[in-house]
C-alpha cells in the first residue's frame, strides 16, 4: 500500500472524481527539488507524492493534512497501465544501479494545454481510456545532504526525463517519500520529450475501480467526531466498503 496525507475536503474531491491529481514539480514544497538550475524542466514534470510507511506520524499530519485531516491508502497499482515498448531506464543510487519503473498510463481525465516548437500542438482530448502518457514510478526519493545544484542535471536530453524529481535535500528525509512522475511531453507522443510550454498546473489520473473501492481512510489524531462522521458518509455515498479508522496517536486537547 501507498499512503497520502490530505484534507477532508480533498478526500471528498478524490472520491467524487475517482482521480488522483498530479501537480507540477515546480510546485512542490522544497525549492531545491527537481532541477534547481532549470526551472523550465520542472514545469514539464508532473508528480504525485506518497509514502510506503504504514505507521502514521505527527510531522506528516502537520505538514500535509493538519492534525484533523485524513490519510488515504491505495495499492501501488492504483492506475490503469500497460507495458511500454520503450527501453527500461536505470539510475545510480549510492553506487548501485536501480531500475526505473516505466509504463503507459491511461484514463487521464484532465490535463494541460501544450505548446511545442513555437507552435500549438494538436489538441489533447482528455477522458477515460482515451489519452495516454508515460508513467514513471512509484520510485523512492534519494535524499542528498549537499547543495542539490551539484547533483542535478541542468540540461537533460529527451531520454533522461526519468532522472528528474528523484532527489531531495536531506532536510526532507523524514518523509521517506515515493513518487509517480509523468513527463508532460509524453501526452503528445507517448514518448518523454521536451516541450516549449506547458499551460496548466495539474494532471488528473483516474483510479482503477478495484483500487477505488478498496481505498483506506485514516483520520487524524485531532479529528473531531464530526469529521469522522463526514468521512464515513463520504465512503457510504460512494459505495465503498470498510470504515474509516482513527489515528492511534494521542494528542492532548487544549
- Report the domain count for the chain: 1
Question: For residue 234, is it within any domain?
Answer: no
Q: What is the structure's pLDDT at 33?
A: 82
Question: For residue 187, is it within any domain?
Answer: yes
The mean per-residue pLDDT over the stretch 2-9 comes to: 95
Question: For residue 235, is it within any domain?
Answer: no
Q: Which residue, among 134, 181, 174, 177, has the nearest Cα to 20 in the 3D structure?
A: 181
**How far, in Å, CA of 128 to CA of 107, rounded?**
4
What integer best gives the mean pLDDT of the chain?
83
Contacts of 174 (CB under 8 A, 6+ apart): 57, 59
Q: Which residue has the higher pLDDT, 32 or 138?
A: 138
Q: What is the structure's pLDDT at 224?
A: 75
Question: For residue 221, is it within any domain?
Answer: no
Helix ranges (DSSP H) in the chain: 8-17, 39-42, 58-64, 186-189, 209-213, 225-237
- Residue 254: CB atoms within 10 A of its CB come to 3
Question: For residue 225, is it within any domain?
Answer: no
Contacts of 195 (CB under 8 A, 6+ apart): 44, 114, 115, 116, 121, 184, 185, 188
Query: Which residue range forms the structural domain that includes residue 182?
Result: 19-57+74-208
**How far, in Å, CA of 40 to CA of 26, rounded?**
9
Question: For residue 69, is it within any domain?
Answer: no
Q: Could you report the per-residue pLDDT of 39-74, keeping only the tens digit for each?
A: 777 888 999 999 999 999 999 999 999 888 999 999
**How far, in Å, CA of 22 to CA of 20, rounded?**
7
Q: Could you report the per-residue pLDDT of 115-165, keeping only the tens digit for each?
A: 765 555 556 767 666 678 889 989 999 888 865 544 444 445 556 777 788
Among 9-13, 103-107, 215-219, name the one with the lowest average pLDDT.
Answer: 103-107
Tell the residue number behind the cell numbers 478524490, with chain if given.
14
**Percentage of the chain exceeding pLDDT 90:** 39
Question: For residue 181, is it within any domain?
Answer: yes
Among 34-38, 46-50, 173-177, name the one with the lowest average pLDDT.
Answer: 34-38
Question: For residue 166, is it within any domain?
Answer: yes
pTM for this entry: 0.87
**How far, in Å, CA of 204 to CA of 16, rounded?**
12
Q: Could you report the per-residue pLDDT of 195-250, keeping only the tens digit for each?
A: 667 888 899 999 999 999 999 999 999 877 888 888 899 999 998 878 898 999 98
Q: Reduce the DSSP state of residue 165 to 3 states and report it.
A: coil
Amino acid at each position: 500500500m501507498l499512503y497520502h496525507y490530505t484534507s477532508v475536503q480533498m478526500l471528498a474531491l478524490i472520491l467524487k472524481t475517482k482521480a488522483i491529481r498530479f501537480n507540477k514539480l515546480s510546485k512542490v514544497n522544497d525549492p531545491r527539488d527537481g532541477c534547481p538550475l532549470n526551472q523550465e524542466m520542472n514545469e514539464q514534470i508532473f508528480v504525485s507524492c506518497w509514502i510506503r510507511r504504514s505507521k502514521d506520524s505527527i510531522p506528516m499530519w502537520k505538514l500535509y493534512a493538519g492534525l484533523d485531516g485524513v490519510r488515504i491508502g491505495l495499492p501501488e497499482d492504483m492506475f490503469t497501465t500497460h507495458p511500454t515498448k520503450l527501453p527500461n531506464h536505470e539510475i545510480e543510487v549510492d553506487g548501485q544501479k536501480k531500475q526505473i519503473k516505466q509504463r503507459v498510463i491511461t484514463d487521464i481525465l484532465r490535463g494541460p494545454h501544450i505548446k511545442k516548437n513555437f507552435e500549438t500542438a494538436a489538441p489533447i482530448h482528455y477522458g477515460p481510456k482515451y489519452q495516454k502518457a508515460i508513467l514513471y514510478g512509484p520510485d523512492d526519493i534519494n535524499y542528498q545532504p549537499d547543495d542539490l545544484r551539484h547533483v542535478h542535471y541542468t540540461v537533460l536530453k529527451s531520454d533522461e526525463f526519468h532522472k528528474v524529481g528523484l532527489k531531495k535535500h536531506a532536510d526532507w528525509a523524514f518523509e521517506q517519500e515515493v513518487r509517480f512522475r509523468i513527463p508532460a511531453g509524453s501526452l503528445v507522443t507517448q514518448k518523454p520529450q521536451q516541450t516549449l510550454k506547458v499551460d496548466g498546473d495539474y494532471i488528473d489520473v483516474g483510479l482503477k475501480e478495484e483500487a477505488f473501492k478498496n481505498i483506506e481512510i485514516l483520520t487524524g489524531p485531532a479529528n473531531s467526531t464530526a469529521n469522522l462522521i463526514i468521512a464515513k458518509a463520504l465512503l457510504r455515498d460512494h459505495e465503498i466498503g470498510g470504515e474509516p479508522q482513527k489515528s492511534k496517536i494521542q494528542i492532548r486537547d487544549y
